[in-house]
Amino acid sequence: MKETVVLYPLPAMGHLVPMVELAKLFVHHDFSVAVVLMHTPVKHPSVDPFVARVSSANPSISFHELPPTASLPDTTPVPLFLDLVLSNNPQLLDFLAAHCRTSDVRAVVLDFFCTGVLAITAELRLPSYFFFASSAAILAAFLYIPTLYATADIDLKALGDSPLHFPGLPPVPASDMPRNMIHRDEHYFRRMIRVLECLPNADGILVNSFESLEAEAVRVLRDGTCIPGRRMPPVYCIGPLIADGSRDVGREKVEKAESKGPAAATTTSSVPLAMASSSSSLGAVSSFNLQTSSKTPQASASYLIPLIPNPFRPKTKPSKLAAAPCRRHIDASFFPAKKPPTDSRPTKVQELSVYEINEGDRSSPAYLRLSQKEVNCLGDLVPFSNKLYSGNLEKRFGITAGICVLIQHVPERGGDRYEAIYSFYFGDYGHISVQGVYLTYEESYLAVTGGSGVFEGAYGQVKLQQIVFPFKLFYTFYLKGIADLPKDLLGTPVPPSPVVEPTPAAKAAEPHAAVKNYTN
């Protein structure tokens, strides 16, 4: 059975075209590729002809359109994309489950807007990767934006041309940021922050660049400097990917350019996909705009990647290196199909369910109001410690302990957004550390950053379900990098409900209903 990679782009040409170029690269390395298309209320007229052309020319690339879903609200473009992702999740789950029964699915590669799919891939134990079709420098800057806003109460609209500073990157004038990323009070901005915060929760990120072009930006990504305090997944440089042949792109402006002659066609058709998709979806302006070289049509379209003005690179004299060869290979460490992985840690996903319950006997939560105001304000700290029980509520595991920092009030949802860092303690079995966004009004996904004992070397993510905030919470861990969990920690979980309670024996931490040396 041929190994298969599933690709899941947004249903927009600027996202579909780069993903198809990635599909061709996988086919070049003897993978079969299934491109899954979301169902949309309105389809771009170029999609079907483009899919037909690609299918005809590439038999190893198959396209699968998901069945219709519920109607979607009339919102601005990017929130609509995010709504599309969530509304298509049930259909995607059914497709992946069925496809895994008939194909050797090695991984799922997601458009970087599709962070809402991580719950699906985790449930199916499928490795998940994000594909970022723009440059490494832009990815590093975007990943740092949540930290930038969390640590400084700034309004980019008022900064004008004042420089913004990103780790390891040249300063960027605030006015050169994508226009929709500077209005922090808008619904769009808040949702995009959540998308950017979730990107590191994947098994890896594919970026359409190569290390010799953006050495410093790639270093910032791989070191995790752009997400301080969090685990950065592996970053794979798989570029440059180029749309070889303007007709495949299916854009009117390409056809118009071709009608004006070879020189005009070159200016449009040779635009590398490194900047053609995600920046446009983010409302990119100013120096994010593309300019291409004046090479011959054949050279530009199929072999060379022009240099691109980039706001994250210093304005220096043009390099003598006007182009780099289009390499037909994936980073050597990506998807080792034949050779064993260099990381000896287990990659199997293990599920662990626990309840966190505040029984009112630990003076938790406490409120450190550094603002010295009577109500919680941005930047105030909330240390907490609660009791930890097994998912079946029959055993006392220990406690949780950590701290939350209030980042944002969300009055329309009746809750708040925190940045949290805390640990789960399991007595002699050790502990698990997590970090990430903590929402009081809906499910959150946090990154597993490590552990001790049987959890040493653990990574993955955990889904947090608020049952009765802040008194009852249910967690589902999706753990990798560790040996099989002890049966003492497992069991069929009780479905989350406001009325659930631990058994009397577990509450009393009787010897048969508590782990050895449970943390208290």
Catalytic residue positions? 15, 111
Query: Which contiguous run of DSSP H or E holds residue 146?
Result: helix 136-151
Three-state SS at 518: coil
> If you ran DSSP here, which 8-state letter would residue 66 be given?
P
Please provide residue 89's backbone torsions phi and psi, each rounded to the nearest 5 degrees: -60, -45
Which structure tokens are listed for 245?
Answer: 């042949």
Find out whether 216 and 114 touch, Cβ atoms under 8 Å: no
Cα–Cα distance for residue pair 326/274, rounded to 1 Å: 12
Cα–Cα distance for residue pair 117/198, rounded to 1 Å: 11
Shortest CA distance to 23 belongs to which of 281, 252, 330? 330
Cα–Cα distance for residue pair 256/268, rounded to 1 Å: 10
Provide the residue type at 160 as one letter: G
Greatest distance between any 2 Cα atoms in the chain: 83
Buried b (16+ CB within 10 A) or exposed e, 334-346: bbeeeeeeeeeee
Buried b (16+ CB within 10 A) or exposed e, 439-449: bbeeebbbbbb
Which structure tokens are listed for 113?
Answer: 């807007």
**184 Rama sector, left if φ>0, alpha if ψ -120 to 50, beta otherwise:** alpha
Virtual CA dihedral for 415, 417, 418, 423, nearest 10 degrees?
A: 80
Find out whether 474 and 388 touch, Cβ atoms under 8 Å: no
Cα–Cα distance for residue pair 197/146, rounded to 1 Å: 7
Paired sense of beta strands 431-439 and 128-132, if any: unpaired
Query: Which contiguous run of DSSP H or E holds residue 253?
Result: helix 252-259
Find out whether 331 and 238 touch, Cβ atoms under 8 Å: yes
Cα–Cα distance for residue pair 1/4, rounded to 1 Å: 9
- Distance, first Cα to last Cα, the chain: 51
Residues in the chain: 520
Provide the residue type at 520 as one letter: N
Three-state SS at 480: strand
Token pair 């226009």 is at which residue?
179
Please provide residue 37's backbone torsions phi and psi, each rounded to the nearest 5 degrees: -105, 125
Distances (CA, A) of 410 to 76, 189, 230, 440: 19, 13, 24, 10
Q: How many other CB atoms are there within 10 angstroms of residue 212's CB atom?
A: 10
